[in-house]
Amino acid sequence: MLEYLIKIIADTFWASIGLSLLASLLQKTAGSARTRQGASSPDPEKGSRGLVPLRGTGRSPVDFYRGAAFGVAAAFIYAVLKRGTGFAVREYYDLGALAVSLAGVAGAIVSEAFAFGESDVRAFERFRRFSVFCAASGLCALSFPNIMLYPFAFAVGMDNIWNADFGLRVAGYAAGLLISICTGAALYRVSRSASRRASLLAALLSLAVILPKLILSVTRTLVGRDLIPRYKPLTKLVMWWVERENYFVYALMAICSVLAVFAIARGVKGGVSGANPAEVRRARYMSRLVRRFGLSVILGVTLSCLTLTVGAAYSNRGVELVPPVELPARDGKIIIPLDTVNDGHLRRFVHQAPKGSSTVGVRYIVVKKNETAYGVGLDACDVCGPTGYYERKGQIVCILCDVVMNKSTIGLPGGCNPVPLAFRIEEGNMIIETSDLAAEARRF
């Protein structure tokens, strides 16, 4: 249960906050535009400079919803291709979604910070609408694929689904979605009740936090796929990002918590007035409603923060790595008897390979995937570097990012999978060339 609760919160909570604040801000902008459009203008024949309805203003929420629908559709298509054909490559999909969301978030920051619904320049309004569309579609495209794919992994390694472990996984998945959705919905209502300035500030701060997160994610993907040179500063930046990815989520939690606290305080201290008793009762009801939504936001943030900190620490407790075994090499070959790796458990090995003027231990792993296939790869990946893998409850897990490997994909490139290592089977033995290991010494 805890495993999927942590995954869902980490994957969806940050996008839920960003989308909620952006949607609320755009609704305020649209409402303001409708107010200006409904205002009476002086007679144009007299040459007065009265308020003129803004062209296109008020369509930003529509572009937001269209963008969100486009992002969900893209995520669905990717999930179908990934599940049904294996044709889709996650890194390339993420790179495209990251580029779209990065452009949209940056454009939304510029358009809302410097205009906030006050521009009547048609080109600028088009830029705002395009930015909103890209931001919504990119954030949804990034957060929805895992939501769609996780259920297919619930029963992995089980003989049947009628057991407590399957039920706990489903419960953790559902609880994570419920927390993210309810917190985002409550935050949307809290932001709608706040002043335009407070909504603008909260939305811009959240987008300003999401922006570097997206930039670092793009850098991580480019470095991981060798699309840009592996400069040492870039590699260190990627490693720093992987270790502190949740810090951006904590910053977003702080922003929406502050907004919720101000909303609660405003509801408690603010006076209630109205032209008649009915309006007074309605004002009191709305004040109570805002306080409840504010408390819901704080509760959701608290549960999410505890999940990503205490829950993750509890889930990863007691991880003890078995030291890798060094096997002797004969004539440039390492021979591993198959009967030593046929139990389906992870086996870790190491070979001392030359690196510059010294040697380095190149670690590699072997696991039997099924009755006829073996997964062989380095104890390192393109994304997380040489941190390696360990076995937890029969599953192969990345030590750094805690991603659970699908055993059937070990030995294939991509994602957080181990870097594939060439091997062959001869007379009941697995043969690995030491030259293939030496060629990968740069990774360690």
Residue 140 CA to residue 19 CA, distance in Å, equals 9
Specify the range with the lowest mean pLDDT, choosing from 38-47, 220-229, 332-341, 361-370: 38-47
Q: What is the percent of the chain where pLDDT is above 90?
A: 8
**How large is the average pLDDT for residues 64-71?**
90
For residue 122, pLDDT beyond 80:
no
62 confidence band (pLDDT: 50, 70, 90): confident
- Residues 271-320 have pLDDT tens digits of 556 567 777 777 777 778 888 898 999 999 999 999 888 887 777 665 56
pLDDT (0 to 100) of residue 434: 87
pLDDT (0 to 100) of residue 180: 92
Count CA atoms closer than 13 A to 409's CA, side-chain side.
Answer: 19
pLDDT (0 to 100) of residue 29: 59
For residue 57, pLDDT beyond 60:
no
Q: SS3 sequence, 153-177?
A: HCCCCCCCCCCHHHHHHHHHHHHHH
Residue ranges and CATH numbers for the domains of the chain are 2-37+53-315 (no CATH), 325-443 (2.102.10)
pLDDT (0 to 100) of residue 272: 57
When comparing pLDDT for 400 and 118, which is higher? 400
For residue 366, the cross-strand partners are: 347, 376
**Average pLDDT over the chain, rounded to an integer:** 78
35 confidence band (pLDDT: 50, 70, 90): very low
The side-by-side arrangement of strands in the sheet containing 347-355 is: 325-326, 347-355, 358-368, 374-378
For residue 355, pLDDT beyond 60:
yes
Place of tokens 């805002």: 290
pLDDT (0 to 100) of residue 339: 84
DSSP string spanning 78-138?
A: HHHHHHHTS---HHHHHHHHHHHHHHHHHHHHHHHHHTTT----HHHHHHHHHHHHHHHHH
When comparing pLDDT for 383 and 297, which is higher? 297
Q: What is the percent of the chain where pLDDT is above 70?
A: 82
The two three-digit tokens of residue 281, written as one number: 């009762």
437 confidence band (pLDDT: 50, 70, 90): confident
pLDDT (0 to 100) of residue 39: 46
For residue 255, the cross-strand partners are: none
- Residues 235-284 have pLDDT tens digits of 777 777 777 778 888 998 999 899 888 888 876 655 556 567 777 777 77
pLDDT (0 to 100) of residue 301: 93
For residue 48, pLDDT beyond 60:
no
Question: Which segments of 369-407 are extended strands (E)?
Answer: 374-378, 389-392, 395-398, 404-405
pLDDT (0 to 100) of residue 157: 57
For residue 4, pLDDT beyond 70:
yes
DSSP symbol at 415: T
Cα distances (angstroms) measured from residue 287 to each of 167, 255, 272: 40, 21, 8
Query: For residues 104 and 135, is the Cβ–Cβ distance under 8 A?
Result: yes
Cα distances (angstroms) measured from residue 165 to each of 1, 151, 171, 346, 402: 8, 13, 10, 22, 19
When comparing pLDDT for 156 and 132, which is higher? 132
pLDDT (0 to 100) of residue 326: 84
385: three-class secondary structure by DSSP: strand
pLDDT (0 to 100) of residue 160: 67
What end-to-end distance do the CA atoms of the chain give, in Å?
34
318: three-class secondary structure by DSSP: coil
For residue 24, pLDDT beyond 80:
yes
Specify the range with the lowest mean pLDDT, choosing from 189-203, 316-330, 375-389: 316-330
Residue 244 CA to residue 249 CA, distance in Å, equals 10
pLDDT (0 to 100) of residue 361: 86
Residue 379 CA to residue 324 CA, distance in Å, equals 10
36 confidence band (pLDDT: 50, 70, 90): very low
pLDDT (0 to 100) of residue 359: 84
Closest CA to 132 of 115, 109, 150: 109
Residue 165 CA to residue 171 CA, distance in Å, equals 10
When comparing pLDDT for 147 and 239, which is higher? 147
Residue 54 CA to residue 29 CA, distance in Å, equals 11
**How large is the average pLDDT for residues 31-56?**
42
Cα distances (angstroms) measured from residue 152 to each of 35, 82, 157, 168, 325: 48, 11, 12, 15, 34
**How large is the average pLDDT for residues 157-161?**
63
How do beta strands 325-326 and 347-355 pair? parallel
374: amino acid identity, one letter: Y
